[in-house]
Structure formats: C-alpha cells, structure tokens
Structure 1
Amino acid sequence: MWIRTYSTVWMIGGFALIVYMGHLYITAMVVVIQIFMARELFNLLRKAHEDRHLPGFRLLNLHFFFTAMLFVYGRLLNQPLVNSVTPDKYLYQFASSLIKHQMAICYFLYIAGFMWFILTLKKNMYKYQFRQYAWTHMILIVVFTQSSFTVANIFEGIFWFLLPASLIVINDIFAYIVGFFFGRTPLIKLSPKKTWEGFIGASVTTMISAFVLANILGRFQWLTCPRKDLSTGWLQCDPGPLFKPEYYTLPGWIRQLLPWQEISILPVQWHALCLGLFASIVAPFGGFFASGFKRAFKIKDFGDSIPGHGGITDRMDWQMVMAVFAYIYHQSFIVCQGISIEMILDQILTKLTFEEQQNLLVKLGHILQERLGHP
C-alpha cells in the first residue's frame, strides 16, 4: 500500500505540473502514454523465437504506428496548425497543402505497409505473422481511437480533460482505500479484490468531488478556454454561460445554521454530476475488462513501469473509457449551450475576410427581413 501511495503522489504531482504548463504539454503527455500503452500491448503476443526469423517485423509495426498517429493527429490538429502559421504566407500554403492531402498520404502509407507485410510472409510463419498483423490493428484501433478523444477534449478546454481524468483518479483511490479498510463483499469474480463497499464508497465520494471540483476548475479561464492554435501560454476568453455563476438564496433554516445567505453554482456543475455518475458506475467496467483480458493471457499486469500499479495500461484502462464519454457528452449536450454571441463574433472577425463579412451581413439582413415579414 505504501509503495502504491508513493507512486500515486509522484504521478499526481507530475500530472499537475504538466497541466499547469498548458495544452501542448498535456497533448505530448498523452502521446507518450499512448506509446507506452502500445508497447506493452505489442509485447503481449510477441515471441522472441519467431521474431528472430522475421527481421524487420518490428519495424513494420512501427510503420503502422506512425501512419495511425499521422492520420489521427493530422485530422485533430489541422485547424490549430493553420491558425498557428497564418501570419507566414509560405508556411500557410505548405500547411494547407499538407492538410488537404493528409488523408491520401496516410492511405498510401498504409498501403505501403500492407504490401510490405505481404512481401515478408514466410513459410511456416504465416499463422504467427497474421496473428501479429491482426493484433497490431486491434491495438491501433483501441489506443489511437480512444486517445484521439482525449486530445480533442484538451483542445476544447483543459477543463474537459482535467475534470474527467481527476474523477477517475478519485474513484480509483477511494475504491482502493474504502475497500482496503472496510471491504467485505466481493463485487465481481474478474477482480476478487474489488468489493461492494469500495464501489459504493468511491461512487459517493466521486459524485461529491465532481460537483465541488467543477466549481473550482470552472473559475479559471485558462482551464475553460478552447485552444485554437498550437501556441503555448495561458488563455483568456469569454467563459460562456456554463461557467458564469448563478446565485441561489438559501432557505431560512439553513441560513440559521450556516453563515452564508446565498451560494453560487456554475451551471457546468450539473453536467459534472453526469460525468461523476459515469466515472462511478460505468468507467470501472474498463478496469474489469482489463482484468479479464489479463486473466485470458495469464499475466498479473500489463507491465511494470509504475511501482505498485503495474504498467501504464493498467492505469489507463478506466481513463480511455471516460475520455470517450466526456467527448461524446460535450459534443451532445455542451457545445450548443457553451456558444455565446461574443464567441460567434470572434470567429467571424478572425476567420472571415472583409468581403465574406459583408456577404454575411447582407444574408443576415435578408433572413431577418423575411422573418419580420418585410419586403
């Protein structure tokens, strides 16, 4: 327990420092974690004896890895890249051309890897090679697809990355602590150490933490502002209605017990409860899935990168599930509510040329005239 606690403190401290440094550093952290996860998963089915007869096979895996990374991050970061190089005419033309043909470049890189794989097939090694080929694609789909949602959350605002990630950490820590001291009733056979007491205690703690933490994080603009380019530094923006406090007068009997007459609540706190509920009930099933996966391969941990915790994949199983949910929830229920007139005007003034702004004004005038019934 002490080794696990010591590692946890170091991880939380390093994580806090990277978050403090900003969007690009957090994205770099996600990429590094992704590389370690892919490495641990690649090693699960790799056999040294067969690899000796297949020189260059690991290089082929790296080729697919690089292609997947170029495809995923190229699509995610294309607009921030254009925004970053806009002042330079030649860089802008180069970046625009690269983005325009990015999908074709990735496709032909993949086809090159496919042909490479076919040309390296060896007699008596077909089964191993095709198993490795399928395993490589499964890893790329699982790791890159889910980590891409994480990066998308980061550029929507660090808040949408930090809050879900923190809730998973809180749930994991309190499930371990409550289960360690009070756990008696087994929760699921896949994870014998998981108990109902730990599950319930962690759920209550996570829900409370979600509501409180959203209020704290939501008051910092550098956490709530979306990043539109690849520059570093803290941001300032109109926080939008979700992050503007609403004041509620407390009932009389509560005011007699507490020194406050009213409390301020950010609208985003109600959404945070949904994230907390998911982190408490659904996200742990990512851990159960990983437990079943390890039992299938008869291993204790995916690796030994983190003392007391196992490998990077052992810590990220819940996070991946949570990142996908946070992105889908944000796009489904937050995006429209988070749009303000100031944000729209900022996009119009920065993205459109003067002629396009004039055309937009004329079209808006026509639309408003039609709605008002004027000729």
Structure 2
Amino acid sequence: MEQMESIASYYEEPLQDSLLQHIFNHNNDPILLCVWCFLLRKNFSPRFLLSSVYFLATHKDTGTAAPSTTSGRIRHRKRSNEVIPEVNKTNGTRLLVDDKSKYKSMLIRAYSSVWMIGGFVLIIYMGHLYITAMVVVIQIFMAKELFNLLRRAHEDRQLPGFRLLNWHFFFTAMLFVYGRILSQCLVNTVTSDMVLYRLVSNLIKYHMVICYSLYIAGFMWFILTLKKKMYKYQFGQYAWTHMILIVVFGQSSFTVASIFEGIFWFLLPATLIVINDIAAYFFGFFFGRTPLIKISPKKTWEGFIGASITTIISAFMLASIMGRSQWLTCPRKDLSTGWLYCDPGPLFKPESYTLPGWIPHWFAWKEISILPIQWHALCLGLFASIIAPFGGFFASGFKRAFKIKDFGDSIPGHGGITDRMDCQMVMAVFAYIYHQSFVVPQSFSVEMILDQILINLAFDEQEALYRRLGEILQQGIEGKS
C-alpha cells in the first residue's frame, strides 16, 4: 500500500491521465490498474476523471496504444494535442487579430455589457438619489477589490479584526465626503419640519468633529493592535488603506457633485467613456495591428484612433439628445425623487446657424439648429478619447506591478468593478472642473446666497435676517416715494 501511495502521489500532476496510457502499454497491468483505482478512491480532480473516461472510450475498441517507454520509469510527456498558442510578431510591432479564442471572450464581454447598460439606464431613469446610491455601491466593491490586493491570509489570521479596521476608515471617509456634499440637499429636504431641521442643522454643524472623532478612534485602534514581527505588514496595510480612500473618494466627490448639478453632467461623460471603450475594443478587435503602448500590449493605434473619432462624433450627437430633456438638465436641490421642471438656461436652448455658401446646393438644409452645450460636449469628447484612456494605461501598469490580470472577477469578461472605473475616475474629475470653470457663472446668485443662509444660520438668526431685510426694503421703498 505504501508503494501505491508513493506512485499515486507521483501522479498528482496536471498530466495524471497519462497513467492510463501506460496501463494500456503494459497490457492492462494489474498493479497499474490498482494505482488508478487508488487515485479514484482519493477523489481525484474532475478533470482527471473525465479525461480517464474519454481515454477509455476512445481506445477500448480501436486497440491503439501510446508508444511504450524504453526505461522502467514512467515519464510524463506533453500530449500531442497540447498546443501553446503563440502570437506572431514582426519585430515586436505587429499584432495578430485572428486569434480564435478571442471570439468567445467577445461574446461574454458583449453579454455582460448589455446587462450593465440596461441596469445603468434603469437607474438613470429612477433619478439623482438612486444614481448616488449606485455610486456608493461601486465604491464599496472597488474598495473590497483594492483591499484584497495586499492582504496575506497568514498575517490576517494572526491579526483578528484587522480587516474590520480597514472598513472603519472606509465608512468614516464616506461619512465625511457625503456629509459635506449632500448637507445642503439634506437641509432643503427637511426645512418644512422644524424638529428635523434643528437636528440636521446640529449634525451638519458638528459633522467635522464627528468624523474626526471616528478617525482618531480608528487610529488608536490601529496602534493598540500592533503586534511584534508584524509591524511592517500592519503599517503597509495602514498606508494602503489611506491610498485607497484617496483614490475612491477623491473622484467620487466630484461625481456626486456633478449628479446634483444635473444628471446631464454625470451621464454624458460616463457614456462617452463607455462608447470610447467599446469602440476601442471593436476597432482593435477587427483592425488592430500596431501596438499603442508597451504597458498595455492589447491596445492598438487602430483601436485608439477609431475610438477617438467615434467618441467625438457621439459627444456632439448625444449632447443634442440629452440636452432637450429637463429630467437630465435640471439641477436637484434636495433629496427628493419627484419629476423636475426648470428653466433649462441658455446652454440648452437651440440656436440657429446658417450654413456657409460652399455647402452643396443639393444639401436639404440651409439652416441647422444646435444647442450651445454641444460645443462644450466636443471638449468632453476630446478629453474622453485622448486623455481619459491614460487612466486605463495607469491601471494596466499597476496590475503588471502586482502581477495580476484583473482587479477582480465580479463582471464576466470585464474583470472587476475597478477595471471598469479606471477611465471613469479621470473623466469624472475633469467633467466637474470643466463645468465649474466654463459653464457655471462665477458671480453670486440668489440661490447660492439662500443656500448659505439655510445651512449656516440657525432658525432664530434667519428670522432676524428676514426682519432686517424687510426693514431695509421698506426704507428703500419709502425713499423712492
């Protein structure tokens, strides 16, 4: 039995099914048959069992057998049907586009994309608050994938509760970021209820103190959990956690702010990144020949150029479609979910442009109507097609540094959530900065001043301000009369 166990352990390799060939070579030698039965008793891998059944079925009646070995020792050989596919290159500058295995990957990727786009459209229809909830869910999945990159099971077993500390910092950062971004919307939502209004006002007033206290509690927790011979690992995890918080919440603050400025300023940039990604995959899949960048060998110049042209044209066309919907263009000032009605503003009102004289006479239109926002959309499309892909290149280099293919496997054919958000993070920051710099008027407005009054003044102070403004207005009216 010991001899059988030693022989069986020898065959615990990926090519265990070669043992069956030797059974036939030795005319169904009973010892080898016993070894094979022993392997079955050990509940060997399903791959081994299936390959064994296949070998018996294909050789039982044909009487074919593999060539016998000259020595008494059984050696593993690479089977003739095990071919390692190679990608032909010419001086490292040409790529092969007719790899058959990639068609299956394309189908899986397309199937996942359809589901993601369908769910995305549904959430957009549901409104601002649900889009923000979607962003929160995405952040949680991103943090989970990034936390797992540097974790080692052996060290974590010796540090019970250490993972919980990472999530403590995560939710503290979430409270800080969303508390600052949504404070005004929250105040506007509860102004009709005096009790809730006072409670929310106090929470906003002491919001920073609450967040700082939670962070200090986590900091002390970390110090108290320091363990001898684990210092380097623990401090590495501490630094890694804070870097994740910067990456995840740094861009999300801009994303959520853009959502409440109008879904348009979130939807158009996000859609352009999706279009650019799909177009780059399509053009690279069918026409890709020339590598674009060494850090990401699957990217090609053909895919990059084709995607850029497609994205810029799509930006101009989509801005015209989205800009005519008040649901997408109106800003949300509270946390309600009802329908929106507002003055769309000059950017979303069509303007007529007379076509120049060199346009052929057979062209049907002599005058076209264009929304001013479409010119801004061209800038967004240019950034999404040329600059934002470098977020993907950065992620590719990061994954190569850690020797991983994807950040996760939550999306079939796409990898993890983080793999889909690399370019979106770069685009979200640019979209918000562009909106604040070139679209929003720089002067103070009545709404901006009113928001500051509601969020910074107590109810008694607001009453005093109201009476004071009434006196000033009354004096002004009497002076004119």
Structures share fold, TM-score greater than 0.5: yes
Equivalent residue in structure 2 for 1:220, among 322, 325, 330: 325
Residue 255 of structure 1 and its aligned partner are, at CA, apart by 6.8
1:267 aligns with 2:363: no
Secondary structure of residue in 1 paired with 2:256: helix
Q: Aligned partner of 2:409: which letter?
A: D
Equivalent residue for 1:19?
A: 124
Q: Aligned partner of 1:113: which letter?
A: G
1:200 aligns with 2:305: yes
With over 3 angstroms needed to count, the CA separation of the structure-2 counterparts of 1:307 and 1:359, relative to structure 1, is: farther
Residue 269 of structure 1 and its aligned partner are, at CA, apart by 0.8
Equivalent residue in structure 2 for 1:159, among 264, 272, 278: 264
With over 3 angstroms needed to count, the CA separation of the structure-2 counterparts of 1:359 and 1:335, relative to structure 1, is: farther
| Residue deviations 1:92-117 (CA, integer Å, cap 9, x gap) | 00000000000111011101100000
Equivalent residue in structure 1 for 2:179, among 62, 74, 77: 74
Secondary structure of residue in 1 paired with 2:289: coil
Name whichever structure is richer in helix by fraction.
Answer: 1
1:47 aligns with 2:117: no
Equivalent residue in structure 1 for 2:239, among 134, 149, 153: 134
Equivalent residue for 1:96?
A: 201
**What aligned pairs does 1:1-375 form with structure 2 within 5 A after superposition?**
1-252=106-357, 254=359, 256-336=361-441, 344=446, 354-355=466-467, 358=470
With over 3 angstroms needed to count, the CA separation of the structure-2 counterparts of 1:364 and 1:68, relative to structure 1, is: farther
Secondary structure of residue in 2 paired with 1:177: helix
With over 3 angstroms needed to count, the CA separation of the structure-2 counterparts of 1:51 and 1:264, relative to structure 1, is: same
Residue 248 of structure 1 and its aligned partner are, at CA, apart by 1.0
Q: Aligned partner of 2:381: which letter?
A: G
Distance across 1 between alignment mates of 2:475 and 2:234: 59
Q: Aligned partner of 2:433: which letter?
A: I
Secondary structure of residue in 2 paired with 1:256: coil
Distance across 2 between alignment mates of 1:291 and 1:76: 31
With over 3 angstroms needed to count, the CA separation of the structure-2 counterparts of 1:33 and 1:255, relative to structure 1, is: same
Secondary structure of residue in 2 paired with 1:257: coil
With over 3 angstroms needed to count, the CA separation of the structure-2 counterparts of 1:215 and 1:362, relative to structure 1, is: farther
Superposed CA RMSD in Å reads: 2.4
Structure 1 length-normalised TM: 0.92
Q: Which of structures 1 and 2 has the larger relative contact order (alpha carbons within 8 angstroms, sep 6+)? A: 1
Deviates more, 1:86-95 or 1:141-150: 141-150
Distance across 2 between alignment mates of 1:355 and 1:177: 65
1:203–1:281 Cα contact (<8 Å) kept: yes
1:348–1:357 Cα contact (<8 Å) kept: no
With over 3 angstroms needed to count, the CA separation of the structure-2 counterparts of 1:197 and 1:13, relative to structure 1, is: same
Identity of matched residues, %:
79
Residue 212 of structure 1 and its aligned partner are, at CA, apart by 0.8
Q: Which consecutive unaligned segments of at least 5 residues does structure 1 have?
A: none
Q: Which consecutive unaligned segments of at least 5 residues does structure 2 have?
A: 1-105, 455-461
User: Max radius of gyration: which structure?
Assistant: 2
| Residue deviations 1:109-166 (CA, integer Å, cap 9, x gap) | 1011000000010001101100000000000011011111110110010000000000
Distance across 1 between alignment mates of 2:469 and 2:175: 34
Distance across 2 between alignment mates of 1:154 and 1:356: 36
Question: What is the aligned residue count?
Answer: 364
Distance across 2 between alignment mates of 1:204 and 1:361: 57
1:255–1:261 Cα contact (<8 Å) kept: no
Distance across 2 between alignment mates of 1:139 and 1:43: 11
Residue 233 of structure 1 and its aligned partner are, at CA, apart by 1.9
Secondary structure of residue in 2 paired with 1:193: strand
With over 3 angstroms needed to count, the CA separation of the structure-2 counterparts of 1:346 and 1:43, relative to structure 1, is: closer
Secondary structure of residue in 1 paired with 2:369: strand
| Residue deviations 1:149-188 (CA, integer Å, cap 9, x gap) | 1101100100000000000000000001001111111000
Secondary structure of residue in 2 paired with 1:194: strand
Distance across 1 between alignment mates of 2:290 and 2:149: 32
Q: Aligned partner of 1:155: which letter?
A: F
Q: Aligned partner of 1:236: which letter?
A: Y
Secondary structure of residue in 2 paired with 1:192: strand
Distance across 2 between alignment mates of 1:264 and 1:221: 18
Residue 252 of structure 1 and its aligned partner are, at CA, apart by 4.7
Equivalent residue for 2:72?
A: none
Residue 59 of structure 1 and its aligned partner are, at CA, apart by 1.1
Q: Aligned partner of 2:399: which letter?
A: K
Structure 2 length-normalised TM: 0.72
| Residue deviations 1:50-101 (CA, integer Å, cap 9, x gap) | 0011011111111101100000000000000000000000000000000000
With over 3 angstroms needed to count, the CA separation of the structure-2 counterparts of 1:54 and 1:159, relative to structure 1, is: same
Residue 222 of structure 1 and its aligned partner are, at CA, apart by 1.0
Q: Aligned partner of 1:205: which letter?
A: T
| Residue deviations 1:203-258 (CA, integer Å, cap 9, x gap) | 01111111111111000011011110000022110111111111112235547333
Residue 316 of structure 1 and its aligned partner are, at CA, apart by 0.4
Residue 357 of structure 1 and its aligned partner are, at CA, apart by 5.0
